[in-house]
Amino acid sequence: MSGLVTFFKGRQDLDSGSDLLDQASDAFLKGEEIGGVLLFSMIEECKALPLESPEDCLDFYRLLISILFMREEENQRLDHQIEGLIRKGKTEGFWKSIQLEEGYRRLVDYLYEGKRQPFEVKQLEKGAVLQENEMHALERHIPHPKENAELALVCLYLGWVWQDDELVQSGLKLTEFCLSLCDHDGVLFQGMWVRESEYREKENTQTFSLLFTIASYVALSSKVQVVSEALFEKREGLQPFVALFAKAFQRLIEDEESFPKIHEGLTLYDHDQSLGFLRYHHESLSFACSASGVNTGLGVIHKKGIHITSFGPHYAPLADSNCYGIFRPSNGSRDGFKDLTIESGDEKARFKGWTRVVTPVASHVSKQPYSFAERGQQWLFFDVVGEKDTVNLTIRQSQFDETVPLNFVFFVSADKGMIEGKGEILPKALERFQGRSNKIIFSRGTEVVTITPNFEGEMEVIPLAGGDHFWSADFLLAFPLMEKMSAYRWNIE
């Protein structure tokens, strides 16, 4: 499995950073001795991490697991400190219904003392796992893509070392779900089910790249190999946790730990009723839509290398991502979205129904550390039709309040935009456009995508800076919705 060697070698070739984990992982992956002072400093850092939210707990476990990956031999003083961290995670952590946290606990128990604990993954029909699957936090009843990929890695690793076929199959079903979050070129739909405040492009890409590298070894699947290769090229600046996980898998190979080949390959699903989800692909066009989400968009469109990284409803101010998106959690069953029309074919697909919008109040993010958003009173009708390489989108709002008007927006990744009759607009520029709605042409090199509004009204085009903000978008295209139940239509071609 030479791919894994080069995978974490990218980390070996980096200069040591100032972060403790960076320094320790760099030394470990280069085969150098890690000083005791450095490890104890990392333990102190881990001790100091607050466990006030599920995200805090996951970060805590990622650091603890990284320490355990680098723990080469028993050291009574070191192990005493590690045992304290293990107790902290078990006593101060969150609910067992957060399955990634439970998976991390099982991995910690195994890495520290070889303990095997029962671990059953509760998955939806097509393999996805909700962030939380009981009733502690309704807004977490959506799948988090990166967390699904991390849980898949945990399942595949523990299934491998324990020779547990059921756990391996759980990992592969999670991988199938993760595959549905990639376009025709193997590029991630970065904005799908990802809140803007949580978006980290490199971490997402690297985690998925490692997962598909492992899955291509375990399951004979040409699709997963293509996606793995596409993502592999984008692994620069490898995160320590991902590099150390890759090294752990490589050690299983070197130690000749047996692993049964899965010969039936993996299935790429184009819809999942339990999530209100549709994925469509035709030649150079791919899109994914979901009526489920919390503070996330309605969908993503990739066409000819130009990406609409997220589109959906957005209250003012447009700069506040807390005012963006839908609010409709999944109950984990098909019945939760039986009201939707989901049709999928080779040359045509349709996604139609209603979803709720987040509350328009900018301060809607709960003061409770484990909550994100609150549901609003507004509902949004959508009708997304993909026909060959064209997308037709229709939306309607259930009500109109002039004190809190709703916009429908597109976050676009492109080199430049051209507004018909008005001129060119560039990313990171200070100039923005505000005026009558008009056709806008986005381009990257020789590739062009046109968004045409089929209604009279206003529009605004705001240059963005890309990077880790707004799902790496370069432009925000916004259309105010000024009428109740009126149809607003766009053609994207």
Amino acid identity for residue 296 in this structure: T
Q: Are residues 289 and 239 in the same domain?
A: no
CATH of the domain at 458: 2.70.98.10
Q: If you average pLDDT over each of 136-150, 222-236, 388-402, which comes out highest?
A: 388-402
Which tens digit of pLDDT belongs to each residue from 90-124? Answer: 888 877 778 999 999 999 999 999 989 889 999 99
What's residue 367's pLDDT? 44
Residue carrying the six token digits 């799908």: 192
Q: Is the pLDDT of residue 309 over 60?
A: yes
| pLDDT tens for each residue of 435-450 | 999 999 999 999 999 9
Residue 479's pLDDT band (cuts 50, 70, 90): very high
Whether residues 250 and 296 share a domain: the answer is no
First to last CA, the chain: 41
Same domain, 107 and 243: yes
Based on the domain organization, do 421 and 308 belong to the same domain?
yes
Residue 216 resides in a domain: yes
> CA-to-CA distance for 399 and 392, rounded, in angstroms?
23
Tell whether 264 is covered by a domain.
no
Do 43 and 74 lie in a common domain?
A: yes
Is there a single domain that holds both residue 216 and residue 288? no
CA distances from 84 to 45, 53, 137, 217 (A): 13, 20, 28, 36
Whether the pTM exceeds 0.75: the reply is yes
As to burial, measured by CB atoms within 10 angstroms (0-12 exposed, 13-18 middle, 19+ buried), residue 237 is exposed
Q: Are 272 and 337 in contact (CB under 8 A)?
A: no
Same domain flag for 194 and 285 = no
Of 193, 220, 254, which one is at a domain's C-terminal end? 254
**Tokens representing 233?**
């090229």
pLDDT tens string 364-422? 444 454 455 777 889 999 999 999 999 999 999 999 888 899 999 999 999 999 998 88
Domain assignment of residue 12, given as a range = 2-254
335 DSSP assignment? G
Q: Are 426 and 412 in contact (CB under 8 A)?
A: no
Q: What total of structural domains would you count in the chain? A: 2
Q: What is the pLDDT of residues 240-295, one digit of tens each?
A: 999 999 999 888 878 766 765 565 678 888 999 999 999 999 999 999 999 999 99
In which band, very low, low, confident or very high, does the pLDDT at 47 lie, cut at 50, 70 and 90?
A: very high
Q: Are residues 308 and 216 in the same domain?
A: no
In a domain, 262, yes or no: no
Question: What is the Cα–Cα distance from 190 to 412, expressed in whole angstroms?
Answer: 12
* Residue 259 belongs to a domain: no
Residues 219 and 300 both lie in one domain: no
Domain boundary among 193, 219, 254: 254
Q: Which of 254, 279, 308 is the last residue before a domain boundary?
A: 254
Q: Hey, which residues does 303 pair with through a beta bridge?
A: 285, 306
User: Using CB atoms within 10 A of its CB, is residue 473 exposed (0-12), middle (13-18) or buried (19+)?
Assistant: buried
153 has a pLDDT exceeding 80: yes
Same domain (yes/no): 314, 190: no
- Same domain as 392, residue 294: yes
pLDDT at 261: 59
Backbone phi and psi for residue 116, each to the nearest 5 degrees, phi listed first? -110, 115
- Side-chain-side CA neighbours of residue 237 (13 Å): 7
**pLDDT bucket at 6, cuts 50 / 70 / 90:** low
Model pLDDT, residue 467 = 85
Question: Is residue 477 one of the residues assigned to a domain?
Answer: yes
pLDDT tops 80 at residue 133: no
Write down the pLDDT at residue 476.
97
Cα-only R_g, the chain: 23
DSSP state letter for 392: E
Q: Are residues 325 and 223 in the same domain?
A: no
Report the DSSP beta bridge partners of residue 462: 476
Question: 56-65, 70-79, 171-180: which has the minimum mean pLDDT?
Answer: 70-79
Cα separations (Å) of 240 from 37, 63, 69? 19, 9, 11
| The predicted structure's pLDDT at residue 230 | 53
- Per DSSP, the residues of 409-461 read EEEEE-SEEEETTTEEE-TT-S--EEEE---EEEEETTEEEEEEE-SSSEEEE
Are 204 and 146 a contacting pair, CB within 8 Å?
A: yes
Strand partners, 86: none
- Residue 363 clears pLDDT 90, i.e. is over it: no
Query: Which tokens go with 317?
Result: 């101010």
CA 12 to CA 27: how far, in whole Å? 8
What percent of the chain has a predicted confidence (pLDDT) above 90?
A: 60
Residue 261 lies in a domain: no
Average pLDDT, the chain: 87
Distance CA 220, CA 262 (A): 7
Find the mean pLDDT for residues 149-169. Answer: 94
Evaluate whether residue 266 is within a structural domain: no
Q: Is the dihedral of CA 176, 372, 463, 436 positive or negative?
A: positive
pLDDT (0 to 100) of residue 92:
85
Instruction: Please check whether residue 265 lies inside any domain of the structure.
Output: no
**CATH number, domain with residue 102:** 1.50.10
Nearest 5°: CA angle at 59, between 46 and 14?
A: 85
Asked whether 108 and 61 are in contact (CB, 8 A), the reply is yes
In DSSP terms, 440 is beta-bridged to 419, 451
pLDDT band at 430 (very low <50, low <70, confident <90, very high): confident
